[in-house]
Structure 1
Amino acid sequence: MPRTIRLRSSGDDVRFLQERLNARPPSALPPLDVDGKFGAKTQARVQEFQANNGLSTNGVVESLTWGSLLGHAVAQTRGFFVLGRDLYDRRGARVILRGVNKMSVWDNDDPVGLVSFPQIKQTGANTVRIVWAITTNLQPGGPATATATLDALIKNAKANRLIPMIELHDGTGTWGRLDDLVSYWTQPEVVKIIKQHQTYLLVNIGNEVGDAKVSQADFIAGYSDSIQRMRAAGIRTPLVIDASDWGKNLEMLNSTAATLRAADPEGNLIFSVHLYWSLACGADASFIRSNLQQAVNLGYPLIVGEFSQYGGYPCGNPNASICGPAGEIDYRTILAACHEHELGWYAWEWGPGNGFNDPLCAIMDMTHDRLFANLKPGWAHEVAISSPFGIQQTSVTPASI
């Protein structure tokens, strides 16, 4: 839940509180200055709100007051929390995620990020999305990954002041694997690791779980059950839910976010879309902007978990490579629109390794050797360095990390 705030507290969460109180029906008291400082006037408005809602009028914004103000139950957490459509750290500072993905689970030369994470940090990134898996071949019963390696990855991300988001790749495109993912997260050994790092950790339940055939009813039922099982196991971190259809179906998130947020006893969910919307399929600047605007208008917490210059479905030429011209994506509009809407994002992917199945997809590696000095020219350099909307120009690392 949001931290408890009271007289003399300060921070972005106080600013959010002031905005919400000002947006309520007319008060007998004057509007608050939205300055992020919890002074006597803010305390008086809180006490008025508490009195009008049958709460103890102590002027302290704790779980019951937050729950009444937000319209859903909240529970205590020691780490990141969601207010409105934004993420906040444990000190009440708003955090806009700016980072990259790293396929650590398959990087045998740098299995715990000792090379990659310091190099990623040189971009100015404040976060890394760590690709993890139950088995190294993503198949049930395959070679199991080591939880000690997962623990080391999280520690090394934090040591480099990168917010770690951990995800499981085993259910990519396969709705039937969602239960397996939750069973992994809720096993005692993994829960112990999550609890150890929960003050600065984000947990992405599964990467791109489900194809285009997943129904809205199944999405709600599956993730409602997943949320409740993970919370019952003691996982208090924000939970990140990818869209269906290989992460691309933003309409699914638009139509289910409110219901899923209500299903979370922690009130602490983030939703993630993967913007592999190709120009060949009509995803031009207008399409991207209008779709993101629609989601933003709904007011739920949304990030872009993956995007690149390539990787879109090659409409009109299904046999073409997703990493050739038919799979090209308007990444510059994605950068600009996310900046305008203050949406967090992760670029895909630091590299190397994207050319494993399709040699053309090596173009999605931001580096060929993990080193910042060898950041590739073109889209990778723009996303990390030269774009006014890229990582180096917009990323802020919170002091709590």
Structure 2
Amino acid sequence: MRRLLWLGLALLTGLAVFLVSPPANAAAGFTVSGTQLVDANGNPFVMRGVSHAHVWYQSRTQQALADIKALGANSVRIVLGSGQRWGPTPAAEVTTVINQCKANRLICVLEAHDTTGYGEQAGAATLDQAVDYWISVKSALAGQERYVILNIGNEPYGNTNATGWTAATKNAIARLRAAGFEHSIMVDAPNWGQDWQFVMRDNAASVLAADPQRNTIFSIHMYGVFDTAAEITDYLGRFRSAGLPVVVGEFGFDHSDGNPDEDTIMATAQRLGIGYLGWSWSGNGGGVEYLDMVTGFDATQLTSWGDRIFNGADGIKATSREASVFGGGPGTPPPASPSNPPPASPSNPPPAGVCSAAVSVNAWNGGFVATVRVTAGAAALRAWAVSVTLPAGAAVTSTWNAQATGATGAVRFANVSYNGTLGAGGSTEFGFQGTGPAPGGTASCAAG
């Protein structure tokens, strides 16, 4: 009797799994599983990144993404224009940005900024207009579900008629799904993103249920409204208790409307496994220049805010893990740095007194990113230098965790101050980005 009962339960369980299984294409990209964002390989992914204002600083994007990655981020939120106030950013440009994100092994969160403060901000776009834009650039987004998250519109309502957010958001999601978009969708809160009336919080479950793919993530922006630990932990905790996915899609260390508690924001996000994206890399104006993380897009000039979010407690460098869709496996640590060296690889070390270098390349039409792993032999190193010969027509445009001599032909990369010393069998990594044909996987290493 018990065996028959067990078999009956097993058959019912199997039938239930069959009935609720997602469509076959669900694994094409990111999906939502309870409170977690899961990548196309089935591994949880927690965003640790920053925003970059591409629509205003298009010529800065390539270098900015390389620098953001070098500081440890696993994702970047890209500001685009839908044509009502800025842009529109054309499909070809969106393709270029996506390729640059992929080259730097960054998950690309694309957002249409023109919706900011609709109802209060003159000329702001509606969510319907934002959807029109996404449909117009669908050719650039199709097939990129493994690498791209679609943030429909930035802060899509001000404080006027914020209750209209719920119906407008449901309609926007429905239109995107009807148009064939299979991406994870991120939706920003009303009240200029801060949801102080709790419209998003109290209606999130119904918005998620209205998505036929159940693949929607909720984004709260934390500035002056979130100036106490109690407010932060209560807001994020309610989403977690309700089993709903949330990210801190923007936050800062200070703002004109109050002083947000960035320490609690970051600590709570880390404790609960919630993603965060700080605002913003560089180029702020209008009195909020203090939110720049680096001065003048120069990664060597971290501001106090930049140093806090990248290098501080619960910061990006300490907590970021690269998405497994880039081939590093689940939970791949961020690039080597003074405070986060890679694990030693002592198995099968090279002979004593030498070092080896292995090159891995991520290439696209017209450019590439190379990651070079330097491994010491049976003796410790005090310094190292790696030579890479580039093919004709290739040139190095940026380098991280190494000093480059030359840009074409035979290029020499030497250690910087914090990664020259390696224990026997120990390893470190550096990287470089370039244009033209990609180099091969071989390089020579000289030990110091």
Q: Classify the TM-score, shorter chain.
A: 0.7 to 0.9
Kept in 2: contact 1:75–1:267 (CA 8 A): no
Counterpart among 375, 383, 394 of residue 302 in structure 2 = 375
In structure 2, relative to structure 1, the CA distance for the partners of 1:312 and 1:344 (3 Å cut) is farther
Pair 1:52 & 2:5 matched: no
Q: How many residues in Structure 1 have an aligned counterpart in Structure 2?
A: 317
> Which piece of structure 1 moves more, 120-129 or 74-83?
74-83
Q: Name structure 2 gaps, 5 residues minimum.
A: 120-124, 327-448
Separation (CA, whole Å) in 2 of partners of 1:48 and 1:133:
56
Show the counterpart of 2:347: none
Show the counterpart of 2:80: 132
**Letter paired with 1:81:** T
**Letter paired with 2:263:** R
In structure 2, relative to structure 1, the CA distance for the partners of 1:74 and 1:259 (3 Å cut) is farther
In structure 2, relative to structure 1, the CA distance for the partners of 1:374 and 1:178 (3 Å cut) is same
Pair 1:144 & 2:88 matched: yes
TM-score normalised per structure 1? 0.74
1:330 deviates by: 1.3
1:346 deviates by: 0.3
**Letter paired with 1:116:** A
1:75 deviates by: 6.2
Q: Percent identity?
A: 32
Counterpart among 372, 384, 391 of residue 310 in structure 2 = 384
Pair 1:183 & 2:132 matched: yes
Question: In the TM superposition, what are the counterparts of 1:71-220 in structure 2 within 5 Å?
Answer: 76-110=26-60, 113-135=61-83, 138-139=84-85, 144-174=88-118, 177-187=126-136, 190-216=137-163, 218-220=164-166
Separation (CA, whole Å) in 1 of partners of 2:220 and 2:9:
36
**Letter paired with 2:116:** T
**Letter paired with 2:12:** N
Kept in 2: contact 1:50–1:65 (CA 8 A): no
1:108 deviates by: 4.2
Kept in 2: contact 1:171–1:178 (CA 8 A): yes
Show the counterpart of 1:311: 255
Question: In the TM superposition, what are the counterparts of 1:5-84 in structure 2 within 5 Å?
Answer: 51-52=11-12, 55=15, 64-66=19-21, 76-84=26-34
Show the counterpart of 1:21: none
TM-score normalised per structure 2? 0.66
Show the counterpart of 2:190: 244
1:77 deviates by: 4.2
Kept in 2: contact 1:182–1:226 (CA 8 A): yes
Separation (CA, whole Å) in 2 of partners of 1:271 and 1:211:
17
Kept in 2: contact 1:241–1:272 (CA 8 A): yes
Kept in 1: contact 2:65–2:104 (CA 8 A): yes
Counterpart among 177, 189, 200 of residue 253 in structure 1 = 200
Show the counterpart of 1:38: none
**Which has the larger share of strand?**
2
Partner deviation per Cα, 1:218-240 (whole Å, 9 max, x = no partner): 32221111111101111100010
Counterpart among 223, 233, 238 of residue 294 in structure 1 = 238
Separation (CA, whole Å) in 1 of partners of 2:129 and 2:315:
36
In structure 2, relative to structure 1, the CA distance for the partners of 1:297 and 1:240 (3 Å cut) is same
Kept in 2: contact 1:74–1:266 (CA 8 A): no
From the CA coordinates, give the structure whose radius of gyration is larger.
2
Separation (CA, whole Å) in 2 of partners of 1:302 and 1:238:
12
**Which has the larger share of helix?**
1
Kept in 2: contact 1:172–1:208 (CA 8 A): yes
Separation (CA, whole Å) in 2 of partners of 1:183 and 1:397:
32
In structure 2, relative to structure 1, the CA distance for the partners of 1:382 and 1:260 (3 Å cut) is same
Counterpart among 291, 294, 306 of residue 364 in structure 1 = 291
SS in 1 for 2:324: coil
Name the structure, 1 or 2, with higher relative contact order (CA <8 Å, separation 6+): 1
Q: Name structure 1 gaps, 5 residues minimum.
A: 1-27, 30-44, 68-72, 314-326
In structure 2, relative to structure 1, the CA distance for the partners of 1:373 and 1:84 (3 Å cut) is same
1:49 deviates by: 6.2
